């Protein structure tokens, strides 16, 4: 994927403005692993910068302070899609963007929380507007569904029933991320991804084929699943590369980590965290 467009047009700035859209950030953890967060507040802050607002405490806000290289994705309700790279620069707790966020209906009339910090990043480059190829996506999902019964690699029961259901629903959205050689996270839509057994996700290469073929075997990979009711889950593991699964060639992700990104308490689900006594009240 080439990120050759170096600024945002006025039409793109307007397209990024609505809160009701898919906005994703791919960041890098302190351990050097990819992480994906949904941030519907992601928008343009000018022709050469973007920003997003923080109202909960999640991992991405810590990640960007240590590793400023970011991958981002915006998809509108019309299924127009942009992907890009950016460098985190600074935060603000006042100013026009802070006021604009907190005057939107989502936050102005929320009795429990508002935007308390605005994060800014400088645009490095983006793809320009693309359209999600729904025909290829549907065909890929059908091929993945046909391949699943042929996948027999054993693994622990890492994915619970709720997580499997989310990934296996064909009209849910899914996106993967890995870290490219230049240090920036790359995101690719993989709406066709589905759970195979208790610890793997597979996806055929019928959509975004060239990008999926370019992913190196053995890289750490994150895969984010999202329902249209805005429930979501993030998994991570080692990408096992492309292989024939029955009649179709599929990418295989061996999952070793599961994370609940949803408020009020984003938290690791697998491996399970030990229970600790509450000592401060």
Do 15 and 91 lie in a common domain? yes
Q: How much of the chain is helix, strand and coil, in % rounded to 5? A: 20, 40, 40
State residue 111's pLDDT score: 47
DSSP 95-119: SHHHHHHHTSHHHHT-SS----EEE
Q: Is the pLDDT of residue 263 over 80?
A: no
The string of pLDDT tens digits covering residues 129-181 is: 999 999 999 999 999 999 999 999 988 899 999 999 999 999 999 999 999 99
Question: What is the mean pLDDT of the segment spanning 206-227?
Answer: 96
CA pair distance 126, 157, nearest whole angstrom = 38
Q: Is residue 218 classed exposed, middle or buried when 0-12, 13-18 and 19+ CB atoms within 10 A define those classes? A: exposed
Higher pLDDT, 229 or 50: 50
Domain that holds residue 245: 133-260
Q: Is the pLDDT of residue 246 over 70?
A: yes
Sorting pLDDT into bands at 50, 70 and 90, what band is 265?
Answer: confident
Q: Is residue 250 a part of any domain in this protein?
A: yes
Residue 254 is classified by DSSP as E
CATH number of 37's domain:
2.30.110.10
Beta bridge pairs of residue 136? none
Q: Is the pLDDT of residue 104 over 90?
A: no
Q: How many CB atoms lie within 10 A of CB 69?
A: 20
- On whether the CB atoms of residues 6 and 12 are closer than 8 A, the answer is no
Do 153 and 198 lie in a common domain? yes
Do 83 and 164 lie in a common domain? no
Closest to 26 in 3D by CA, of 225, 179, 219, 228: 179
Sorting pLDDT into bands at 50, 70 and 90, what band is 92?
Answer: very high
State residue 251's pLDDT score: 98
Question: What is the mean pLDDT of the segment spanning 236-260?
Answer: 97
Question: What is the mean pLDDT of the segment spanning 113-133?
Answer: 93
Question: What is the mean pLDDT of the segment spanning 15-35?
Answer: 95
Q: Is residue 162 classed exposed, middle or buried when 0-12, 13-18 and 19+ CB atoms within 10 A define those classes? A: exposed
Do 46 and 98 lie in a common domain? yes
Mean pLDDT of all residues belonging to the chain = 92
Question: What is the mean pLDDT of the segment spanning 30-41?
Answer: 95
The string of pLDDT tens digits covering residues 179-204 is: 999 999 999 999 999 999 999 999 99
Do 218 and 248 lie in a common domain? yes
91, 109, 130: which is the final residue of a domain? Answer: 130
State residue 110's pLDDT score: 56
């Amino acid at each position: 994927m080439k990120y050759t467009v170096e600024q945002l047009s006025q039409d793109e700035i307007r397209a990024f403005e609505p809160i009701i859209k898919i906005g994703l950030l791919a960041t890098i953890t302190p351990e050097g692993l990819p992480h994906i967060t949904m941030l519907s507040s992601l928008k343009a802050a000018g022709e050469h910068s973007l920003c997003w607002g923080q109202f909960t405490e999640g991992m991405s806000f810590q990640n960007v302070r240590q590793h400023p290289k970011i991958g981002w994705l915006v998809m509108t309700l019309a299924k127009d899609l942009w992907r890009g790279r950016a460098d985190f620069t600074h935060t603000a707790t006042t100013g026009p963007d802070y006021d604009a966020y907190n005057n939107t209906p989502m936050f102005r009339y929320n009795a429990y929380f508002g935007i308390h910090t605005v994060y800014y990043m400088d645009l490095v480059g983006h793809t320009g507007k693309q359209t999600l190829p729904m025909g290829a996506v549907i065909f890929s999902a059908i091929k993945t569904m046909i391949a699943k019964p042929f996948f027999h690699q054993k693994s622990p029961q890492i994915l619970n029933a709720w997580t499997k259901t989310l990934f296996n629903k064909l009209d849910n959205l899914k996106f993967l991320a890995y870290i490219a050689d230049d240090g920036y996270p790359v995101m690719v839509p993989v709406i066709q991804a589905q759970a195979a057994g208790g610890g793997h996700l597979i996806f055929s290469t019928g959509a975004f084929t060239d990008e999926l073929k370019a992913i190196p075997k053995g890289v750490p990979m994150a895969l984010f699943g999202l329902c249209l009711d805005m429930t979501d889950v993030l998994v991570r593991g080692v990408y096992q590369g492309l292989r024939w699964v029955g009649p179709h060639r599929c990418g295989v992700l061996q999952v070793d980590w599961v994370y609940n990104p949803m408020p009020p308490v984003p938290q690791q689900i697998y491996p399970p965290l030990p229970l600790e006594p509450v000592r401060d009240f």
